Chain A
Amino acid sequence: MIAADHQTVPAAVGAWLWVAAVVALGVAAAAPLAGRRPALAASILSTIAGALVLGFGVVVLADGATYTGTWGQVLGLAPVAVRYDGLSAVFLVALGASSTAASLTVTGRRGRSTLEASAYPLFLLSMLLVLGARDAFSFLLAWELMALLSAILVIGLRPTRAVVSAGFLYLAMTHVATAAMLVAFGLLTGASGGQVEFAAWRTASPSLAPLVRDAVFALVFVGFGTKAGTLPFHAWLPRAHPVAPSHVSALMSGVMIKTGIYGLVRILVDVLGGGPDWWGVVILVAGASSAVLGVLYALMQHDLKRLLAFHSIENIGIILLGLGAAMVLAANHLAALASMALAAALFHSVNHAVFKSLLFLGAGAVLSATGIRDLNRLGGLARVMPLTALAFGIGAAAISGLPPLNGFASEWLVFQGLVGTAGTAPVPPLARMTAAIAIGALALTSALAVACFVKATGVTFLGLPRSSAAAEATDVPRPTRAAVMGLAAACIGLGLAAGSAVEALRRVAATLMPAGTSVTVSTAVAIPSVTAGPSGGPATTYAALAIGLGLSVAVAIGLVALRRAGRTRRVDTWTCGIAPQPAFQYNATSFAKPIRLFFRRVLLPEREVHVEYHPGTAFPVAMRYRSEVTLVLEDWVFRPAHELSIRFAEFARRLQGGALQLYLAYTVAAVFVLLLWAR
């Protein structure tokens, strides 16, 4: 089925893990169609398959082998061919971790539809294939399967009007993206003499004309950037992700958008071997604007899942900052710094998969416990679901980039990549200045993320419940708690073991980088830590484990002091002499108000207040408040584009008369034109 390039025990184990995962997913997809408790079997098998994929990814990363396989003829056209290498393995780890936890939360859930239970394992399988495909045909086949299956999972379950509209927007945008990729792949195939293998493109890439390379860059950036959800191609993401079931949202946000990052790295860095400075600068600009606007719009949301979806745009931005820095550095032959920055992007991809899956599964737990996604009706849930609240809090701290968790470690490394880009002499001034602005953008982003996750966590889990549904909630089943706690442990573990993780990722990144004159990057630190040396100066260290231990000791001392303080007297919160009411609390909308006003020139908020007074007095009896922000790109770019495409479709309909003679006439005309052209 699949064979490693060398004969070692781990390599053989790896091959078997992959085969077992594929078989498990295949059976899981078939199970819902037969059997007595089909959905249970499917979800258990998916969980196992997730763990197997995780194991396979870790083996590939640790052992360094590559695995290849080729099977069958699809539609009599071409075989499906895969090759898993270190780069694939990084994303396999993300896929494995995320899908294990996501599948675990649906075990024991009743009332899963056959369609969803069957499409879900196939969706996992399609991502497994995307990450391994080694030629254009297999890649596009798996890519299209992934897009269609995820669209089925978004639309298929609750086809309400809003959901269908979100799903169709997703389908339309993902296909525009695929079209762009198709043209890019066509250009690469043409340039390498009709070969569709990525390896052949890599060999041919040095002889490509600069104009063709630039065209491929632009098309690939549009294609994969849309899937990743970077600005300005993000419109589908905050609509489609929240309406999917939570375990699917976790995978879409955690892993599926990462296949866009995988594609960018595979084609731009691996196949094309990097490009001129401005490619990196374009990616830096897209990354910085995605990061800042993603988190700003997230702050303005009061639907928990929509808020998380906007955060995916932010984190894709952070990943792109790492990738952009790596490409600028590689263009200036600073290989060691470039592979450090690329390792930062890869590390953040894995970390984001872990904490975003955790947060979406936590949001799913809140949704299943209360039936509510609106933050302004939640509150106080930490009392009924303490473990889920703790796990969500850890995930929130990790996504906000707080030490000693994993999100901080990868953001730290992205910062180092940007400082290296801004501070290293061979890099041209414009790119250096872009990197300097990106440092500020990343600082702003992480501070705004802190604000947003204080809001999301605090309003959901702390304080008093703001609705009866929140007050009467009960805890979620054990598998869900286990899943979120497992991912929270991974946030801590990846944070403390950041040193080893980054070493493994830097080895992967170094294999993708063309060799160049290198700035030494010191790694000789005894404590497991992340080390970087931007600009060739003295080494910079982040000793994650030491910081983690130091924090634990300091916090433990404080906790002992607090515990020994004596018996606690409990009284009501002081609310100026009247009994505390849930409505006194700040809610999601009021919490974000200072930021809404600070950034009013970007967010363009609208506000509407209706007050009804007691007749003839100044005493209000009822008050209604509405506040909206303007999604500038949606209103000014996407809606006009949408209207234009509808008008074009109406024009096209006139060509599609429905009469057979007409179509035959078109065919004849087309043949005639082709004959003229090929003459």
Chain B
Amino acid sequence: MTGDVFAPLALAALQGVLLLGTAPLLAGTMRRTKARLQGRRGPALVQPYRDLAKWWWKRPVESSASGPMARHAPAIVLGAIVVAALLVPLIAVRPPLAGWGDLFVVVGLLAAARFILALSALDAGSAFGGMGSSRDVAISALAEPGLVLALAGAALAAGSSDLGAISAFGLATGVGLLGPAHLLAAAAFAIVMIAETGHQPVDNPDTHLELTMIHEGMLLESAGRSLALLVYASELKLVLLAALFSAVFLPFGAASDIAPLPILAGTTVGLVKVFAVGQGLALLDATMTKARILALPDLLGLASLLALTGLGARILLTP
């Protein structure tokens, strides 16, 4: 009796803790991989946790030009990404906040986080904040059609835009893994993920060279806990997108019912998938150079067209 209520709650809590807790670790492993590929030893795997702790205890510093916008933004940005992350299934087909929202809500919450962060970057009146903000919203505008079209293709196949339903459908039918519609959408999503998480060749997450910063430029005027929340939010966003990728395009291994063994398997497989996606991005970081910003429309336009072709294939090939 109580198990019927308790088990889904426990599963939701487990997924939530896993998503929220491993975000800095994923960043740590990616930095390690990148360092190794470049012939360095790299920082400890737990360095991102140490950074967050360091900022947490620092005395806050604020620009004298900025006001309530910059002060409240970190909480709103992180809040939106936390809620979005809890809408994405990871170890089971059922997301932690099942029934609260679908893929469009996840995309909307990410847009809300971007809106607030980009606005707050304009608050201090610095050129670099404006530079980062203006580039970030422009690149996201190019990425968004590819993101939504890739996910919409999966929604068409499953007959619903609910992420749990899409994941369950993929698991039940094998998603037609080698079908053109699926492959094209997955490729489009992968390209978009690079842009959305700010990795090479779109943005260099390690740069602090003023003229090339995008995401870092927006954080330049933040310090202390504000910086901690914003950095954690971007680490969490990466886990979110990796989980979204595996839920929609590689749903294998996710637990479809609540029992100890499937949950255990789902946890293991889920973590492996998320970390594998992260390693892929680290590989790109280590091996690619940053593209000219004017070359980005070609790359991201390609993603949108791949996704649209995938949708076309789905419409033409399935009655």
B3 at the binding interface (Cβ < 8 Å): no
Chain A residues within 8 Å of B176, by CB: none
Annotate B80-112 by CB proximity to A: 1 below 8 A, 0 otherwise: 101100100000000001011110110111011
**B134 adjacent to A590 (CB under 8 Å):** yes
Given contacts A397-B115, A440-B145, A538-B162, contact A580 B65 (CB under 8 A): yes
Contact among A451, A533, A566, A584 for B127, CB-based, below 8 A: A584
Contact among A379, A462, A534, A594 for B69, CB-based, below 8 A: A462
**B138 adjacent to A537 (CB under 8 Å):** no
**B127 adjacent to A541 (CB under 8 Å):** no
Contact among B65, B115, B161, B220 for A454, CB-based, below 8 A: B115
B75 at the binding interface (Cβ < 8 Å): yes
A92 at the binding interface (Cβ < 8 Å): no
**A535 adjacent to B111 (CB under 8 Å):** no
> Which residues A527-550 have CB closer than 8 A to chain B?
527, 533-543, 546-547, 550
**A443 adjacent to B102 (CB under 8 Å):** no
> Which residues B134-148 have CB closer than 8 A to chain A?
134-135, 137-145, 147-148
**B111 adjacent to A446 (CB under 8 Å):** yes
Interface size on B, residues (CB 8 A): 90
A609 at the binding interface (Cβ < 8 Å): no
Q: Which 7 A-B pairs have the closest CB atoms?
A: A537-B159, A586-B130, A558-B75, A554-B79, A458-B122, A447-B144, A443-B148
Given contacts A538-B160, A542-B101, A569-B62, contact A462 B229 (CB under 8 A): no
A168 at the binding interface (Cβ < 8 Å): no
**Cα distance, A453 to B114, chains bound together (Å):** 12
Annotate B118-154 by CB proximity to A: 1 below 8 A, 0 otherwise: 1100111111011101110111111111011100100
DSSP majority for the B interface? Answer: helix
**A580 adjacent to B126 (CB under 8 Å):** yes
**A575 adjacent to B141 (CB under 8 Å):** no
Contact among A423, A539, A554, A570 for B83, CB-based, below 8 A: A554
Chain B residues within 8 Å of A425, by CB: 319
**B105 adjacent to A542 (CB under 8 Å):** yes
Taking the nearest CB of chain B, how far is it from the CB of A404, in angstroms?
Answer: 9
Taking the nearest CB of chain B, how far is it from the CB of A356, in angstroms?
Answer: 18
Taking the nearest CB of chain A, how far is it from the CB of B19, in angstroms?
Answer: 13
Most B C-beta atoms less than 10 A away, residue of A393, A462, A541: A462
Most A C-beta atoms less than 10 A away, residue of B68, B72, B111, B125: B125
B254 at the binding interface (Cβ < 8 Å): no
A436 at the binding interface (Cβ < 8 Å): yes
Chain A residues within 8 Å of B161, by CB: 415-416, 419, 534, 540
Chain A residues within 8 Å of B18, by CB: none
Contact among B141, B226, B315 for A444, CB-based, below 8 A: B141
Chain A residues within 8 Å of B183, by CB: none
A403 at the binding interface (Cβ < 8 Å): yes
6 CB-based A-B contacts, threshold 8 Å: A442-B148, A448-B141, A540-B161, A568-B62, A570-B63, A575-B127
**Cα distance, A499 to B140, chains bound together (Å):** 29
B280 at the binding interface (Cβ < 8 Å): no
**B293 adjacent to A594 (CB under 8 Å):** yes
A567 at the binding interface (Cβ < 8 Å): yes
What residues of chain B have their CB less than 8 Å away from a CB belonging to chain A?
59-69, 71-72, 74-76, 78-80, 82-83, 86, 97, 99-102, 104-105, 107-109, 111-112, 114-115, 118-119, 122-127, 129-131, 133-135, 137-145, 147-149, 152, 155-156, 158-162, 165, 169, 220-221, 224-226, 229, 293-294, 296-297, 304, 307-308, 311-312, 315-316, 319
A597 at the binding interface (Cβ < 8 Å): yes
**Cα distance, A455 to B134, chains bound together (Å):** 8
Annotate A398-424 by CB proximity to B: 1 below 8 A, 0 otherwise: 001111000010001001100100110
Taking the nearest CB of chain B, how far is it from the CB of A499, in angstroms?
Answer: 12
Given contacts A454-B115, A538-B160, contact A433 B312 (CB under 8 A): yes
**B141 adjacent to A574 (CB under 8 Å):** no
**B119 adjacent to A458 (CB under 8 Å):** yes
Chain A residues within 8 Å of B71, by CB: 562
What residues of chain A have their CB less than 8 Å away from a CB belonging to chain B?
379-380, 382-383, 386, 393, 397, 400-403, 408, 412, 415-416, 419, 422-423, 425, 429, 432-433, 436-437, 439-444, 446-448, 450-451, 453-455, 457-459, 462-464, 525, 527, 533-543, 546-547, 550-551, 554-559, 561-562, 565-575, 580, 582, 584-586, 590-595, 597-599
Of all chain A residues, the one with the shortest Cβ separation from B161 is A540
Of all chain A residues, the one with the shortest Cβ separation from B99 is A541
Chain A residues within 8 Å of B131, by CB: 586
Given contacts A464-B125, A550-B83, A575-B126, contact A535 B62 (CB under 8 A): no
Of all chain A residues, the one with the shortest Cβ separation from B293 is A594
**Cα distance, A408 to B129, chains bound together (Å):** 27
Of all chain A residues, the one with the shortest Cβ separation from B304 is A440
Given contacts A446-B111, A463-B125, A585-B127, contact A562 B104 (CB under 8 A): no
**Cα distance, A429 to B312, chains bound together (Å):** 9
**Cα distance, A580 to B126, chains bound together (Å):** 8
**B104 adjacent to A571 (CB under 8 Å):** no
**B145 adjacent to A444 (CB under 8 Å):** yes
**B63 adjacent to A572 (CB under 8 Å):** yes
**A573 adjacent to B125 (CB under 8 Å):** yes
Given contacts A450-B115, A454-B133, A585-B127, contact A386 B108 (CB under 8 A): no
**B159 adjacent to A423 (CB under 8 Å):** yes
**B160 adjacent to A382 (CB under 8 Å):** no
**A443 adjacent to B149 (CB under 8 Å):** yes
**A451 adjacent to B138 (CB under 8 Å):** yes
**A567 adjacent to B59 (CB under 8 Å):** yes
**Cα distance, A543 to B124, chains bound together (Å):** 36
**A551 adjacent to B122 (CB under 8 Å):** no
Taking the nearest CB of chain A, how far is it from the CB of B131, in angstroms?
Answer: 7
Of all chain B residues, the one with the shortest Cβ separation from A546 is B100
Of all chain A residues, the one with the shortest Cβ separation from B224 is A565
Taking the nearest CB of chain A, how far is it from the CB of B247, in angstroms?
Answer: 15
Given contacts A412-B105, A454-B133, contact A534 B160 (CB under 8 A): yes
Contact among A443, A453, A562, A570 for B75, CB-based, below 8 A: A562
**Cα distance, A590 to B135, chains bound together (Å):** 10
Given contacts A402-B111, A425-B319, contact A598 B296 (CB under 8 A): yes
**Cα distance, A538 to B169, chains bound together (Å):** 10
Taking the nearest CB of chain A, how far is it from the CB of B316, in angstroms?
Answer: 6
Of all chain A residues, the one with the shortest Cβ separation from B165 is A538
Most A C-beta atoms less than 10 A away, residue of B60, B101, B107: B101
**Cα distance, A659 to B108, chains bound together (Å):** 67
Taking the nearest CB of chain B, how far is it from the CB of A153, in angstroms?
Answer: 33
Of all chain A residues, the one with the shortest Cβ separation from B310 is A436
Chain B residues within 8 Å of A448, by CB: 141
**A550 adjacent to B134 (CB under 8 Å):** no
Chain A residues within 8 Å of B139, by CB: 594
